[in-house]
Structure 1
Amino acid sequence: MDNLSNSSGSTGNSANDRRHSSDHNSTTHTSPMDIDGAPAPIAAPARVVPPHQEVKIIHRDINTYVGFANLPKQWHRKSIRRGFNFNLLCVGQSGLGKSTLINTLFNKDIYDLHQSEIGEDDFVSNEEEEEDNDRVKIDTISTTIEENGVELNLTVIEAPGFGDFIDNTNSWEPIIDEINSRFDQYLDSENKIDRSNIIHEDNRIHACLYFIEPTGHNLKALDLKFMEMIHTKCNLIPIISKSDILDDNEIFEFKNVIKQQLLENNIEYFKPPTYAVDDSESIAMTEQLYDLIPYAIVGGEQGTRSRSYPWGIIEVDNPQHCDFVFLRDVLIKNFMEELREKTNTVLYENYRSNKLKSLGIKQDNSVFREYDPELKELEDKKLHEAKLAKLETEMKTVFQQKVSEKEKKLQKSESELFQRHKEMKDKLTKQLKALEEKKHQLEMSLANQVSNSPVQSKKKGFLR
C-alpha cells in the first residue's frame, strides 16, 4: 500500500511538474485525448521570439520621369515615316513667273523653264488648242521632295489661260469647280468603310498663291472677283510678281492700295497664327509676316537664286531686295502645318457642313448631350412658355380677327342704314315737290276759273 501511495504520489508530482511547466512556457495545449484520459502527447519545444527589429523605410522621390514627354518624339517619328502632303494652287496671268517661283521656292526644277508657262504643252495640236482656247484649263504636276530625311509629296495645280482672254467672264469657275471636286472626293473617302488611306489620298488644296500684275495702281476687277470667290475655300496668299520693276516707294504704296481694296471687299487672306507659348520675338516675327502681305516677289534666273541687271544684282534670298524669304517662311518653313490644319478644320468643315445641309441632312444635337434633369426641366419650361406664348398669340389673332369682322359688319350695316335713309329722304323730297307742283297747278287752275266766270250782282234781301 505504501508503495502504491508512493507511486501515486510520484505520479501526481510528475503531473504537477508537467502542469507547471505548461503554465510557465504557455506553449502546450490540452488535447481531447488528455481530457478522456488518454496519454498526453509530448510537448513541443518552446519557440523563442526574436526581439522586435526596426523596419527600414526607403524614401523615394515621387517626381520621377514618367515618359509622356517623349510624345513629341513619337509623333515626329510617325510623321517622318508617313511623310507629308502639300497641294499648292498657283493662279495668275501668263508671264508672271509662276514656274520660276515654284522652282525657286522648293529649290528643285519642278518645271522646265525652257518650255512655255506652267501647264502649257508644246506637243498639243493646233486643233486641240483651238477647242480649249476659250476655257481655263486645270493642269497638275506632282513630285516628291526630300530634305534631311523628310519627304514632301508636293502637288502644284495651275490654271493656264486665266486672265488671258479678251472676255474673262466666269473664268474662275473651272478653278472653283476643281476645289469643290477635291473636297467632294475627300468627303467620299471619309464615308467609305475602309478609311485607312484617307491621309495619303488627301488632295485638298492647302494654299493658293495669287499672282498680281505689278501695275503699281489698283487691282483689276478680275483680281477682286477671283479672290472674293476663292478666299472662303482655300488659304489665299496674294503676291506681287516681278516686283523688281517697281521701286521701294511704289511697292509700299501698291501694297497699301491692295490691302485697302481687299478690306473694302471683305476678302480675307491667310493670317499666320500666334500661340501662348510663343515668345515676344516669335510673335513680332509672325506679325511682321502678316503685315508684309502681299509679298513682293522676284524669281531667280535658271540655276541661280539671283537676277543680274546692268545696274546690279538682285538676290532672291536677301530680305532687303524682295519678300521671298518671308513667303517661304509662311508657305513652307514655319506655317505649312497651319495651312494644312486650317484647310482641314475650318475650310473643309465649312464646305462639308454646307454640302450636307444642302442634301437635307440634319444633325440632332440632343444625341450628343448628357442627360441633366435640371437642364431638362429648364428646357421643358421654355417649351411650355413658348407653347403658351404661341397659344396667346393665336388667341389674340383670332380675337382681333373676330373684332375686325364685327366692326366691318357694323360698318356695313351703318352704311346700309345711311343709304336707306338717304333713299327714303330723297323719295319724300320728290313726293313733296310733286305735291307742291300739283298744289300750284290747282291754285293756278282755280284762279283761271275765277277770272273767266261772269260777275253776278248781289241780291239784296234776306234770301239770296
Structure 2
Amino acid sequence: MGLSGIQRQVFRKVAKKGYDFTLMVAGASGLGKSTLVRTLFMQPNDETDTDRLAAADRIASTVEITERTKTIGDAGFTLRLTIIDTPGFADAVNNTNCWQPLVEYIDSAFELSLQEENKLDRSNVMDKRVHALLYFIDPSARGLKPLDIAALKALHEKVNIIPVIGKSDMLTKGELKALKAQIQADIQEHHIQLFRPAVDDEDEESYKLSLRIAGSMPFALVGSDTVLEAAGGTMRGRRYPWGVVEVDNPDHCDFDLLRNTLVKTHLQDLKDSTAEVLYELYRREKLSQGGSLNVTANTSVTPASRASPDASLAGDTEMYEQKQRELEEQARRLEEERRRFEAERRKFEVFASQP
C-alpha cells in the first residue's frame, strides 16, 4: 500500500519546519551549569558564564531569568534550542521563595499557549513551553537540602524535572553511590515527581533503556568543553594529577546517558509529557477558574444583540456549557493519563528498589 512513505513525509515536514525545544537549568552557582550546557550541545565558550557570582553579589542576590536561543543543524534537521538560565537561584542569604520566578516563567509560557489556542490564525504558533528542567544538586551535600525539596515540590507539577549532581568528579565512587541513594530516598519520601520516560512493553530495548534512565537519576555529571589529547585520538574531559576524567565515558559519569535522554531518545517524550500532561493540568485549572474562556469571543455589539439581550445571554450560556463539556472531557483524558503514569512510576520504583 505504500504506507512506509508516511514516515518519510513526516520527517520532511518536521525537517522543513524545524523543532522547538526549551531547556531550563537551575541550581546554586558554582555547580557547572553553563559548562554542562555547552558540553551537551557542543557549543563554543563564547558567552559570559552566569554560573559564578562574587561573594558580594550573593548578599542581595535576586533570581533573574535569561533566555538564549540557538539554532543547531544536524543531518538536514534544525533544532531551535532555547536555554533558560536562572542566575541568582539559591545564592542569596535569604532564599525564601527563590523558586517563584521559575514558577512564574513556566506559567507565563503555559498562558501564552492557552492564548494562542484561542486565536483564529494559528499557522505560526511556536511552542514556548519549558520542556525540561535540569536541577543541579550540590555534590557536597548529604542529600536534598530543604531548599531543594521546597523548590522541587513547587515545580514538579509544572515541568519535567531531571535532577543531576554537578561536578560529581569531586566524589569517590562509594560517596557518589551513597549520595545517589540518599537523594532517591528523599525524592520518594517527599513524593517528588520526576520525568519518567514512556515505556514500550513490546520493545525490549526501549523498555530496558527507560528503566536504566529512571534508575540512574540523579545523573552524576562532569562537564568540560576542553579537548584533551589521548592515545589514538582526542576526547573531552578534565585532567588531574591522578588521571583523566572523560566526559563521554559511561564508566566515569552519566553524561552520555543524559545527552541521549535529552537529544537522541526521549526529546519527543519530554515534549509530549509537557503538552499532554503538565500543560493540560494548567489548562484545566485555568478553565475551571473561568480564565481565558472568552479570549476569542466576538465582543462587537450587533443590532441583534442590542435588540435582544436575552438572545445574547443565551449565546453566552451555550458557549459556557460547551466549554464545560470540553473541560469535562479534558479532565477524563487527563485522569487516564495520570493513572497510566502512576502505573509506570510504580514499575520504576520496583526496579529501583532491586539490589
Relative to the length of structure 1, the TM-score reads 0.60
Q: d(CA) in 1 for partners of 2:272 and 2:257?
A: 20
- Give, as a single letter, the amino acid of the residue that structure 2 aligns with 1:290: A
Whether 2:211 is the aligned partner of 1:287: answer: yes
Q: d(CA) in 1 for partners of 2:140 and 2:328?
A: 54
**Residues 200, 206 of structure 2: 8 Å contact kept:** no
| 1:282 positional shift | 2.9
Alignment correspondent of 2:15: 80
Q: Deviations over 1:207-226 (max 9, x none)?
A: 00000000251211111111
- Give, as a single letter, the amino acid of the residue that structure 1 aligns with 2:213: L
Q: d(CA) in 1 for partners of 2:247 and 2:219?
A: 13
Whether 2:170 is the aligned partner of 1:210: answer: no
Name which structure has the greater RCO, CA cutoff 8 Å, separation 6+: 2
Alignment correspondent of 1:17: none
Match runs of 1:280-429 below 5 Å: 280-303=204-227, 305-359=236-290, 363-365=323-325
- Give, as a single letter, the amino acid of the residue that structure 1 aligns with 2:217: I
Determine which of 142, 147, 164 is the counterpart of 1:239. 164
**Residues 91, 210 of structure 1: 8 Å contact kept:** yes
| 1:187 positional shift | 0.9
Structure having the higher strand fraction is: 2
Whether 2:123 is the aligned partner of 1:196: answer: yes
Structure-2 change in CA distance of 1:134 and 1:188 (3 Å): same
| 1:340 positional shift | 0.5
- Give, as a single letter, the amino acid of the residue that structure 2 aligns with 1:106: F
Whether 2:153 is the aligned partner of 1:228: answer: yes
Determine which of 71, 74, 77 is the counterpart of 1:144. 71
| 1:171 positional shift | 0.7
Q: d(CA) in 2 for partners of 1:277 and 1:253?
A: 34
**Residues 216, 246 of structure 1: 8 Å contact kept:** no
Alignment correspondent of 1:107: 42
- Give, as a single letter, the amino acid of the residue that structure 2 aligns with 1:365: R
Alignment correspondent of 1:25: none
Q: d(CA) in 2 for partners of 1:133 and 1:296?
A: 31
**Residues 24, 133 of structure 2: 8 Å contact kept:** yes
**Residues 214, 240 of structure 1: 8 Å contact kept:** yes
**Residues 183, 348 of structure 1: 8 Å contact kept:** yes
Structure-2 change in CA distance of 1:73 and 1:94 (3 Å): same
| Structure 1, gaps ≥5 residues long | 1-65, 121-125, 370-464
Match runs of 1:51-62 below 5 Å: none
| 1:133 positional shift | 4.1
Aligned-CA RMSD value: 2.4
Structure-2 change in CA distance of 1:270 and 1:186 (3 Å): same
Q: Deviations over 1:394-413 (max 9, x none)?
A: xxxxxxxxxxxxxxxxxxxx
SS in 1 for 2:4: helix
Q: d(CA) in 2 for partners of 1:252 and 1:117?
A: 29
Equivalent pairs counted in the alignment come to 292
Q: d(CA) in 1 for partners of 2:12 and 2:145?
A: 47
SS in 2 for 1:285: helix
SS in 2 for 1:152: strand
Match runs of 1:94-173 below 5 Å: 94-109=29-44, 112=47, 115-118=48-51, 133-173=60-100
Structure-2 change in CA distance of 1:111 and 1:98 (3 Å): farther
Match runs of 1:411-450 below 5 Å: none
Alignment correspondent of 1:255: 180
**Residues 217, 254 of structure 1: 8 Å contact kept:** yes
| 1:70 positional shift | 1.4
- % of aligned pairs identical? 40
Q: Deviations over 1:129-180 (max 9, x none)?
A: 89x9442111111110111111100000011101111100011111111110
Structure-2 change in CA distance of 1:243 and 1:359 (3 Å): same
Q: d(CA) in 2 for partners of 1:183 and 1:216?
A: 33
| Structure 2, gaps ≥5 residues long | 229-235, 294-319, 330-355
SS in 2 for 1:344: helix
Structure-2 change in CA distance of 1:67 and 1:116 (3 Å): closer
SS in 2 for 1:68: coil
- Give, as a single letter, the amino acid of the residue that structure 1 aligns with 2:9: Q
Q: d(CA) in 1 for partners of 2:202 and 2:274?
A: 23
SS in 2 for 1:208: strand
**Residues 318, 325 of structure 1: 8 Å contact kept:** yes
Q: Deviations over 1:102-146 (max 9, x none)?
A: 01101112653xx432598xxxxx9xx89x944211111111011
Q: d(CA) in 1 for partners of 2:76 and 2:142?
A: 45
Q: d(CA) in 2 for partners of 1:166 and 1:119?
A: 15
**Residues 111, 118 of structure 1: 8 Å contact kept:** no
| 1:330 positional shift | 1.0
